[in-house]
Structure formats: structure tokens, C-alpha cells
Amino acid sequence: MKKIKVNQEELEPLKDIIKFTSGAWTSLISLSNDDSEKKFREQEVPVKDRPHPHTPTIDLCNDQRFTTEDKVEARLILRQWCKQLDAQQLTNSMIYLPETIMKWHTNSDNPGVRRYYTFTKGDAWFAWVDKKGNVQYDKDNMGWTVREFEAPIWHSIYTSQLRFSFGLLMDV
């Protein structure tokens, strides 16, 4: 896992999506999954592969809270953004609710180099298992964070506030 220096030009389409969908997502600020950073740090890495955990997130391109117009515009912007970055595929465009853990998972069903662009104004953490089998923790920047890693790899996420996540499969 590595953090990548944020290229402001790459962020502009994502900022636009966050801005024009704000009428829908601002109502999510008061919601919570009642998870905690303590619970996040105490969870054990599973022994058996888990490609994806069930995590209640909000999909910016599909959730009914967003207008059809906003969902279509988001899809078009994200399609163009993927092409500009030479990405193979958009893997997600979602919002984590406050106090949410995405439990340990590997993305083993879609291997390759992943890049995630995330935005939060709260405490958020990315955990992963390094090549030596040790759990590592990396705190999100206040604002934008860009990380890249090769899946499959065990990883987990926690956020105390809304967290926007835009994921790409860069290379297979």
C-alpha cells in the first residue's frame, strides 16, 4: 500500500460530483452505523478469504436518494475520469455513513492494482496486512487521500464522518 500525492486536476471531476449531489447526501450526515475506531482496531483478520463484506454504503450512481439526472451525470463524469487516468474500470463510487467499518476483505474476486480517491472531514483509517503478516494503519488526510495497492490484499476501513470513496482498477 502506498499513498500517492494528490493531483488537484484529477480531483476536479470528483469535487463536481460531490457538489452537485449534495442535495441528497447532506441528509446522511446525521445517520450512523454505530461503529467505533476501537471496534475497528479490535477486529480480527479472518483466516478464510472474504472478497467483499456486507457494508451499508451509499452508491452515488445507483442509490434512490439521488435524482436520475444526478446519477446519469455522475456516471458520465466518472466514465470520462476513468479514461483520463487510463483506468481499466471504476470499482466504486460510494459514501460511507458516519461511524462505519468496512470489515476485513481482500477484493480477491477482482485482482489488480487498485487506486482509491477518498474525501473526509473526520477521522478515517485504512488498515491492511503487510507482506510480513502485520496489520498496518494509515490515517486519511483531512480532505483528500489517494492510495494504491495490489489486490488481493486484506484491508479494512473505518470512518467517523461521511467518507466519499472513488475506486479504480488501474492494471490487471
* Closest C-alpha to 31, from 103, 97, 104: 97
Q: What percent of the chain has pLDDT over 70?
A: 99
Q: What is the mean pLDDT of residues 120-140?
A: 97
pLDDT at 161: 96
Q: Cα(34)–Cα(171) distance, rounded to whole angstroms?
A: 35
Q: Cα(169)–Cα(63) distance, rounded to whole angstroms?
A: 22
Contact 112, 172 (CB under 8 A): yes
Q: What is the mean pLDDT of residues 126-130?
A: 97
pLDDT in tens, 3-54: 999 889 999 999 999 999 999 999 999 999 999 999 999 999 999 999 989 8
Give the pLDDT band (50/70/90) at residue 171. Answer: confident
Q: Which domains does the chain have, with CATH numbers?
A: 2-171 (2.60.120.10)
Q: What is the mean pLDDT of residues 119-128?
A: 97
pLDDT in tens, 131-150: 999 999 999 999 999 999 99
Q: What percent of the chain has pLDDT over 90?
A: 95
Based on its alpha-carbon atoms, the radius of gyration of the chain, rounded to whole angstroms, reads 15
pTM of the model: 0.94
